[in-house]
A and B are shown apart, each in its own frame.
Chain A
Amino acid sequence: MTKPATAAPPPPRLYAAREPVFPRRVAGSFRTLKWWIMAATLGIYYLTPWIRWDRGPALPDQAVLVDLAGRRFYFFMIEIWPHEFYFVAGLLIMAGLGLFLFTSALGRVWCGYACPQTVWTDLFITVERWIEGDRNARVRLWKQDWDGRKLRLRLLKWSLWLVIAVATGGAWVFYFADAPTLLADLVTLRAHPVAYSTVAILAATTFVFGGFAREQICIYACPWPRIQAAMMDEETMTIAYRDWRGEPRGRHRKAEGAERLGDCIDCLACVVVCPMGIDIRNGQQMACITCGLCIDACNDVMDRVGKPRDLIGFLALSDERRERAGEARRRVWRHVFRPRTIVYSLLWAGIGIGLVVALFLRTDLDVTIAPVRNPTFVTLADGSIRNAYDLRIRNMHDTERTFRIGVRGAPGLALALEGRDGLDLAVPADAIRIQRLYLTAAAASALATGGRSPVEIWASDIDGRTRAEVETHFQGSAP
């Protein structure tokens, strides 16, 4: 009896250090598109708080402003109050459906082009390449021991990253306060501590996520890659390597048997440009963010070796079968227009139309009423029955307006306002006023001795242009 000659191999380690990724510079149509989208998204983010929009003297003149203290959201000509939060909810639902639509049609193009993590990582890599050189120089610098040059380059890179990071955190707080005032306050150290801590936290996350974590965020931290599979099917356009054309791969074109080789010359151009550090030739995988840079790189190589382009390209899974069988691909629009994307588009457009209609129907006056239910009615000395209500008037207009209050639907009810003569109520510009109302039914009248009777309270602008009504009940002495 002898023991087995070889011991079992040690179990693989469960944790591995991050493999650093050094994406090489690449040129091509997808890279150009990525530059344009990067410029547009960064431009929108950094510049939007500085757009001015005149709303008169009573209101802020910042086009996009989230006024948390005043509980208002200003967006150009729109001013949203807290009770109109469904507009924001609707926009969020549209954003979600838009993401579904793009993912089901074109895969993870959001991840590859427009996601802030991608955009800022791209920006940080651009800075890195500008200071330390392209891929090979960066790999060398990474491997070499620390010396004066490495220290200088690293410090320069980190300080530029830090400038971008602080500007990014800084731009965020401008959405929540008047940007020019806040900038002056921030610079002169007079701003609120919350502003500084927000800038600091966002600067830190930008610096770490864009500079160091990069693709780790997409692979390990972001939930989107996990749920995107539910939106994709075999008609979704994703990035694919045509292995039926490329394999067997080989780089020695003049060696014996080279005529059996496929189009892939195994130059690794698609691997070294990939910001996620993956090899697309292994097939569609979770880490792929569908940015298309490998397509640019491969097309460049194919042009130079005189082979047809699109060895790597946007391809639907269903096309793979056709291409393998030697058939033509279906046209892109036939992949894109299919029941799933049409349903997403219809839902998206339906909510959008609903929001636009709601926007046009909304008035700058809103009235709600809360009957006082403790007690439900009060008997007065002359035997009449009185109900009390709390009327809440929102004047969503930039001037003070006076409203006449009235009651309709129950003849014989006398209306009075607590603490004031007459039925007129002035509400300051852009403000809420709460007013106690009394409705009184004469002694022994049908309303006084009855149960619940429906009534309508209305408020109307003195010049009669704006009017709002709200339904409630009058409670008589009968249960």
Chain B
Amino acid sequence: MPAWWLWTFYATIAFALVYVVLYPAWPMVTRATGGVLGWSTRADVAAEIARFEAANEPMFARLLATDPAAVAADEDLHRFAVAAGAAIFRAQCSQCHGAGAAGVQASGFPNLLDDEWLWGGTTDAIVTTVTHGIRNETDPDARYSQMPAFGEELDAEEIEDLVAQVRALSHQSHDAARAAAGAALFETNCAACHGAAGEGSRDLGAPVLANAIWLYGGSEAAIRQTITFSRWGVMPAFGARLREAEIRAVALYVHQLGGGE
């Protein structure tokens, strides 16, 4: 063995000793020894994040200065907004709407990918919904609609007739005799909001009943549940949680998921 090999080994030991003094090294009960340089991976990450956030700031400023409907024409800005919006969506929205934005029908969390919108699917309409939320008690401008619980006004037979009529409007299998009886009930109790043919109303937030999309499900059991007890889906207002530019970014992201208008 050449002697330099041995000296190289001693040098690595000396290096380790110096390293132990300068950097975090020995695990103690609650945390490792700090090292005299005070360096930590966490501080490094924080600095790194701050650097990227500072670099993103001009793009957010540009987003704020651009009309949301016009962002799609600016390819760079649109790409930035969609990427930023996707990150915000994962952190703030995916808990209810799902990571893929497909919603959860059993819980009434809307699918954001399809082409039906309760409150409108333009970028501006989505910005309003995200900012103020739906039926919450914190934002006076929250979108608001309320369907009565018909279980208190109609008897069970009448509700069954209505269920058949709603199934008929959406071209699903139904009992024709019950549907004929339910048509009059629908005219009296439902048409004011949902429209005579179940075409819905975005101004009132009344869902379309005559198509294939169901917020809570289109089975007889689900429709019966909805008519009897009503539904009360709530979305928080994000105006206080997110900056205006971030809300626009997340709205642009949702808009390009397949249903944007």
Contact = CB atoms under 8 A, between A and B. Distances in A.
Whether A and B are associated in the same complex: the answer reads: yes
A378 B113 contact: yes
B256 A418 contact: yes
Interface of B: 1-6, 72, 98-100, 102, 111, 113-116, 208, 211-213, 256, 258
A334 B231 CA distance: 91
A380 B258 CA distance: 10
A468 interface: no
A435 to B, nearest CB: 11
A291 interface: no
A340 interface: no
Contacts of B100: 372, 374-375
Given A374-B98, A375-B100, A381-B116, A216 B213 contact: no
A50 interface: no
B6 A15 contact: yes
Interface string A419-438: 10000000000000000101
B3 A375 contact: no
B111 A378 contact: yes
Contacts of B98: 374-375
Interface string A427-456: 000000000101000010000000000000
A16 B212 contact: no
B256 A419 contact: yes
A17 B7 CA distance: 11
Given A418-B256, A418-B258, A419-B72, A379 B2 contact: no
Contacts of B115: 380-381
Interface in A84-140: none
A378 B115 CA distance: 9
Given A379-B114, A443-B212, A15 B258 contact: no
A14 interface: yes
Interface stretch (A75-83, A236-244, A382-390, A399-407): A382-390
A360 interface: no
A383 B172 CA distance: 11
Interface string A169-199: 0000000000000000000000000000000
A15 B102 contact: no
Contact of B4 (A216, A380, A443): A216
Contacts of B111: 378
Given A375-B113, A381-B114, A388-B258, A15 B212 contact: no
B113 A15 contact: no
Consensus secondary structure, chain B interface: loop
7 contacts: A18-B2, A18-B4, A216-B2, A220-B2, A381-B114, A388-B113, A418-B258
A267 to B, nearest CB: 28
Going nearest first, the 6 A-B pairs with the smallest beta carbon separation are: A374-B100, A383-B212, A375-B102, A381-B211, A15-B3, A378-B113
Nearest to B2: A18
A386 B3 contact: no
A386 B100 CA distance: 14
A381 B212 contact: yes
Contacts of A419: 72, 256
A45 B9 CA distance: 33
A17 B114 contact: no
Contacts of A375: 98, 100, 102, 113
A379 B102 contact: no
Contacts of A372: 100
A381 B113 CA distance: 11
B258 A378 contact: yes
B99 A374 contact: yes
Nearest to B113: A378
A161 B83 CA distance: 52
A421 B203 CA distance: 29
Contact of A17 (B2, B72, B213): B2
Given A14-B1, A374-B100, A419-B256, 14 more contacts: A15-B6, A17-B3, A216-B2, A220-B1, A220-B2, A375-B102, A380-B213, A381-B114, A381-B212, A382-B211, A382-B212, A383-B212, A388-B113, A419-B72
A15 B3 CA distance: 5
Nearest to B5: A220
B13 to A, nearest CB: 16
A346 B207 CA distance: 71
B3 A383 contact: no
Contact of A381 (B1, B72, B208): B208
Contact of A15 (B1, B72, B213): B1
Contacts of B1: 14-16, 220
Contacts of B113: 375, 378, 388
A187 to B, nearest CB: 30
